[in-house]
């Protein structure tokens, strides 16, 4: 049976990464029942890390482990996802370990790693002070990103460190990069949304970072008293998806560290680090990278909030001024010519149209009366939304070449008046060829493996240029905000 690319992508998106049943080899893991403290699962390498055999702990109370801190469980916060770093070294028969407890929904996860013998002073506050200042413009944003990348390079020293920003369609773009001169650069390249599927993005929203010290290290199975693997949603040691391991292999990357950048409660981007050889930063180094990324995100949040406040500051006055000009005429349609320049400029458009009842007035570049009749009939009778913005009008009117030749982008608003019925505003933008430089062909290939069709990560990350036609310049966040403000003000005006 043939499988479509869409169905394979959907399967990849639904992969249960948190139920992988494995951990990475740089640590060991025990899962406990949250209520009783009975150990339900353990990684098979537990004896190597602690001197205690994994099969012997299943079904036993965690209190039977002589090296487990007595009051640790009582200190762990009760909220799912909360963690407790065990401050002192855990003295096991196999050597000293660092430990971390993680509260799950009905389990507690104990993660163990070897203790680092060296002491490294990390001047977090020194780096943090430069990151907390709010960037004012694009130049300062670029400088801000460089401060963060320089700090990462000083602390963890990966071969390549990037800031990867998500677009609205969840494709991503490398907007800043520091890399060894011998490595090909990814700066300015776009990566398709399927490279970081939704399930992985969801995990980035609830985890402070994702570490893969060695993509070639064999996964360590977790054993338990039943067949269901423990929930590793909040686990740093969680096993890696085979698709992602193959992706790293295709990139020539052996180790990685990714720290999410969250802005206003949304996943804005990642700080992504790649290394060509195995690399395991210490827990302190990882914590420093998370702390600095959070400072960077806080400054970004302030920057975007400030920019929106500036846009809002004069927006209402400008819109009211435009509408007052229209209102000064007995028929508002007669005022369009007088206010046309301001109407068009308000949305950075090339054309504008206003319609009341069966009458329409057109200014600037856009569809003619016949084209407006098609658009207006659709917006009035077929569209339930009161605000519509598109940079690809063909999505709404496929094959209507006479209309699409005049405009490729449209913003439309409508508001109902008890006196005049529906009042409609339209803004238009012409087509503007759009070039996207991808890191390799964005279409993931399908391959046959042992008789089954599977989704394979892209094998090439060389520059792959795609040129799209029939699109206008996209509407910015500020322009979308302006359209919405036009409609709310229009409701009061009519």
Confidence at 211, pLDDT banded by 50, 70, 90: very high
Q: Identify whether the C-beta of residue 426 lies closer than 8 Å to the C-beta of residue 411.
A: yes
Q: Identify whether the C-beta of residue 109 lies closer than 8 Å to the C-beta of residue 101.
A: yes
The yes-or-no verdict on residue 111 having pLDDT over 90 is yes
Confidence at 87, pLDDT banded by 50, 70, 90: confident
The yes-or-no verdict on residue 452 having pLDDT over 60 is no
> What is the distance of C-alpha 439 from the center of its chain?
18
> What is the distance of C-alpha 466 from the center of its chain?
22
**What residues form DSSP beta bridges with 270?**
164, 260
pLDDT of residue 446: 43
State mean pLDDT over 441-470. Answer: 57
State mean pLDDT over 302-331. Answer: 83
* Residue range 389-439, pLDDT digits in tens: 999 999 999 988 888 889 999 999 999 987 778 999 999 999 987 767 776
Report the predicted TM-score, pTM, of the whole model to 2 decimal places. 0.80
* Residue range 376-395, pLDDT digits in tens: 999 999 999 999 999 999 99
State mean pLDDT over 96-115. Answer: 92
The yes-or-no verdict on residue 159 having pLDDT over 90 is yes
* Residue range 289-300, pLDDT digits in tens: 999 999 999 999
pLDDT of residue 401: 83
pLDDT of residue 5: 41
In this structure, how many other beta carbons lie within 10 angstroms of the beta carbon of residue 66? 9
State mean pLDDT over 6-23. Answer: 61
The yes-or-no verdict on residue 449 having pLDDT over 50 is no
The CATH architecture one would assign to domain 328-433+470-493 is 2-Layer Sandwich (3.30)
State mean pLDDT over 456-465. Answer: 60
∠ at Cα 51 (45, 57), nearest 5°?
70
pLDDT of residue 447: 44
Percentages (nearest 5) of helix, strand, coil residues in the chain: 35, 30, 35
Tokens of 379: 């917006």
Query: Mean pLDDT for the chain?
Result: 87
Bigger pLDDT: 317 vs 382: 382
Q: Which of 112, 19, 14, 20 is nearest to 62 (CA)?
A: 112
Q: Identify whether the C-beta of residue 76 lies closer than 8 Å to the C-beta of residue 86.
A: no
pLDDT of residue 461: 65
pLDDT of residue 400: 87
pLDDT of residue 348: 94
- The mean-pLDDT minimum among 333-342, 354-363, 437-446 falls in 437-446
* Residue range 64-82, pLDDT digits in tens: 999 998 888 989 999 999 9
Q: Which of 62, 54, 105, 106 is nearest to 86 (CA)?
A: 62
In this structure, how many other beta carbons lie within 10 angstroms of the beta carbon of residue 60? 13
pLDDT of residue 15: 56
State mean pLDDT over 349-372. Answer: 93
In angstroms, the CA 416 to CA 438 distance is 44
In angstroms, the CA 42 to CA 107 distance is 13
If you count them, how many residues does the chain have? 494
> What are the distances in angstroms from CA 241 to CA 67, 218, 273, 409, 453?
32, 12, 18, 40, 17
The yes-or-no verdict on residue 234 having pLDDT over 90 is yes
Radius of gyration for the alpha carbons in the chain, expressed in angstroms and rounded: 28
The yes-or-no verdict on residue 53 having pLDDT over 50 is yes
Confidence at 440, pLDDT banded by 50, 70, 90: low
Q: In terms of DSSP bridges, do strands 172-179 and 421-429 run parallel, antiparallel, or are they unpaired?
A: unpaired
pLDDT of residue 343: 94
Q: In terms of DSSP bridges, do strands 387-390 and 255-263 run parallel, antiparallel, or are they unpaired?
A: unpaired
Confidence at 286, pLDDT banded by 50, 70, 90: very high
Q: What percent of the chain has pLDDT over 70?
A: 90
pLDDT of residue 355: 93
State mean pLDDT over 115-139. Answer: 84
């Amino acid at each position: 049976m043939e499988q479509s690319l869409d169905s394979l992508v959907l399967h990849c998106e639904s992969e249960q990464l948190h139920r992988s049943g494995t951990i990475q080899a740089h640590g060991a893991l025990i899962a406990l029942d949250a209520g009783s403290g009975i150990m339900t699962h353990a990684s098979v390498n537990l004896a190597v890390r602690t001197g205690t055999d994994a099969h012997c702990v299943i079904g036993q109370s965690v209190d039977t482990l002589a090296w487990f801190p007595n009051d640790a469980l009582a200190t762990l916060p009760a909220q799912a996802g909360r963690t407790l770093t065990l401050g002192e070294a855990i003295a096991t028969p196999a050597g000293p370990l660092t430990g971390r407890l993680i509260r799950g929904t009905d389990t507690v996860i104990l993660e163990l790693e070897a203790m680092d013998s060296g002491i490294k002073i990390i001047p977090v506050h020194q780096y943090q002070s430069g990151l907390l200042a709010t960037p004012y413009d694009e130049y300062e944003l670029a400088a801000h990103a460089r401060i963060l990348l320089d700090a990462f390079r000083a602390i963890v020293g990966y071969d390549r460190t990037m800031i990867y920003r998500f677009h609205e369609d969840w494709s991503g773009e490398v907007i800043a990069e520091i890399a060894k001169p011998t490595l090909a650069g990814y700066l300015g390249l776009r990566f398709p949304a399927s490279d970081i599927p939704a399930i992985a993005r969801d995990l980035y929203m609830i985890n402070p970072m994702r570490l893969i010290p060695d993509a070639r290290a064999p996964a360590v199975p977790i054993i338990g008293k039943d067949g269901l693997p423990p929930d590793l949603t909040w686990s740093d040691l969680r096993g890696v998806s085979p698709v992602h391991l193959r992706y790293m292999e295709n990139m020539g990357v052996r180790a990685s560290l990714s720290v999410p950048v969250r802005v206003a409660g949304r996943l804005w981007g990642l700080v992504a680090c790649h290394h060509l050889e195995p690399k395991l930063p210490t827990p302190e180094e990882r914590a420093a990278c998370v702390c600095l990324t959070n400072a960077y995100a806080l400054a970004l949040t302030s920057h975007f909030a400030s920019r929106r406040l500036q846009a809002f500051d004069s927006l209402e006055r400008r819109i009211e001024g435009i509408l007052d000009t229209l209102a000064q005429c007995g028929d508002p349609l007669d005022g369009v010519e007088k206010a046309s320049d301001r109407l068009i400029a308000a949305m950075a458009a090339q054309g504008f149209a206003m319609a009341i009842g069966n009458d329409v007035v057109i200014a600037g570049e856009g569809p003619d009366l016949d084209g407006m009749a098609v658009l207006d009939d659709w917006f009035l009778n077929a569209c339930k939304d009161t605000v519509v913005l598109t940079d690809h009008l063909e999505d709404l009117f496929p094959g209507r070449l006479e209309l699409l030749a005049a405009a490729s982008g449209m913003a439309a608003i409508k508001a109902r008046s008890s006196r005049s019925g529906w009042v409609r505003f339209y803004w238009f933008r012409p087509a503007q060829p759009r070039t996207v430089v991808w890191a390799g062909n964005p279409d993931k290939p399908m391959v046959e493996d042992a008789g089954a069709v599977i989704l394979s990560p892209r094998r090439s990350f060389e520059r792959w240029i795609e040129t799209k036609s029939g699109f206008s310049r996209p509407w910015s966040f500020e322009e979308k905000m302006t359209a919405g403000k036009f409609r709310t003000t229009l409701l009061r005006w009519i």
